[in-house]
Amino acid sequence: MNTRNVVIARQPIVDNSLATFAYELLYRREVTELEANVIDPVGATAQVVSSCLMDIGLHNLIGSGKAFINFPRSYLVNPSGVPLPREHTVIEVLEGAGFDAVLLAALRRWVKAGFVLALDDFVFEPKLTPFVELATYVKLDIQAMSQEAFCEQVEMLKPFGVKIIAEKIETWEEFHFARVLDIDFYQGYFFERPESVSGKASKVNHMTLLQLMASLLRADDISVVELEKIVCQDVGLVHKLLRYLNSPITGLVAAVDSVRLAIMLIGVERLKSLTNLLLMSEMTSDREVLLEQILVRAKHAELFAKARGYASEDRYFLAGMLSMIDVVMGANLDEVLAELPLPNDFIDAIIGRTGRVGQVLDLVEDYEKHRVISNVNDSETLTVAYVDAVKWAREFTQSI
């Protein structure tokens, strides 16, 4: 099984007696990094959450305390479900989230779902009252304002009953100043710098995740047997799901001796949530574009086959997806396909474009590249299927 190193930094949040109340969990690409080097905020959040759940273990990071995790706006307004324990999780709303009606409605959904909110690097003004009313914690940056302004912020926030966290405290004087104001919690280099915690993570094949998510989204009544067949293709995915089930947060007391039982215990909705998480943790801006291209081709092939009345249209979806796996893996197509448990005729259809599956792939690729389609009926069917495929792919990517 291929593995990679995963890293999460944690910084304690302490109370007035300097006892650790919670940890803020921070994204890191390398153990040696002192600060987060975030290229994609959504992917960074997904990596922190997935590492907590399926690699390092949330209990190993926070014990019985709470985890403060940064959530960017795009994650908050399109919540796909986060399988984190609500009693141990605090969602941090970042200062650049854009405090508008859309965000407010999204945050109300998170609170209704049982999550607790913290407003990070917050500066109160009356128009932001609805957001403060939803929050349990407000973090004030002691470095970002004068002592007078800090005092004013504390006085304005006290009537709301929120817990105030003074963050970025670097000296004894700053701690003493905040303590005189009867602040609830404190965070900063004065107490402890972020500590990097690393672990080994099993690698998961991107195409397996795409195939699994496509199956979860396409079927209203998908069978456990079909899901088992997909999951079993990738030992890394099996390992992650078993690690998740073995985590204390699931409360599982029974032994799991099969992939089928693991899927049944996780459930379809939570499996969808975990698959979302793994997909997002691998996505950067360039991969998002590639993801949509792969999905459009796969769905285009499936819809064309369905319109033609061909049997087993799911084979065409998989063929379309696998026809671009070389781009994802950065290796020759025949070498990559040879490592997958596929029938020889199916591999031949993808590489040599033989049989009906190969012919459909040829037509789909010709349409993508604006080549002339000699058969009028094929051309018309391809056009209709393409429009529907693009719509489906966009809905898919928005859902993750």
Quick one: 60 and 187 in the same domain? yes
Percentage helix, strand, coil for the chain under 3-state DSSP, each rounded to 5: 55, 15, 30
Quick one: 33 and 158 in the same domain? yes
Quick one: 299 and 360 in the same domain? yes
Give the SS3 label for residue 357. Answer: helix
Quick one: 50 and 183 in the same domain? yes
Give the SS3 label for residue 34. Answer: coil
CA angle 177, 182, 188 (to 5 degrees): 55
Nearest-angstrom CA–CA distance, 334 and 351: 7
Residue 36 pLDDT greater than 70, yes or no: no
Give pLDDT tens digits for 210-255.
778 777 766 566 788 888 888 887 878 888 888 888 777 777 666 6
Q: Which residue has the tokens 């693009």?
A: 390
Quick one: 249 and 259 in the same domain? yes
- Mean pLDDT of the chain, nearest integer: 84
* Boundary-marking domain end, from 283, 302, 319: 283
Quick one: 210 and 301 in the same domain? no
- Characterize the bridge pairing of strands 195-202 and 3-14: antiparallel
Tell me what pLDDT residue 285 has. Answer: 44
Quick one: 189 and 62 in the same domain? yes
Quick one: 194 and 254 in the same domain? no
Query: Structure pTM?
Result: 0.70
Quick one: 341 and 279 in the same domain? no
Give pLDDT tens digits for 63-119.
889 999 999 887 888 655 678 888 999 999 988 888 999 899 999 999 998 999 999
Q: Write the CATH number for 103.
A: 3.20.20.450
Nearest-angstrom CA–CA distance, 377 and 383: 10
Give pLDDT tens digits for 347-381.
899 999 999 999 999 999 999 888 989 899 999 99
What share of the chain has pLDDT > 90, as a percent? 40
CB neighbours of residue 16 within 10 Å:
13
Quote the crossing angle between the two packed helices 285-307 and 206-218, to the nearest 10°.
50
Strand partners, 297: none
**163, containing H or E segment:** strand 163-167
* Number of domains forming the structure of the chain: 3
CA angle 189, 191, 192 (to 5 degrees): 60
Q: Which residue range(s) make up the domain with 292?
A: 285-400
**Cβ 140 vs Cβ 166: under 8 Å:** yes
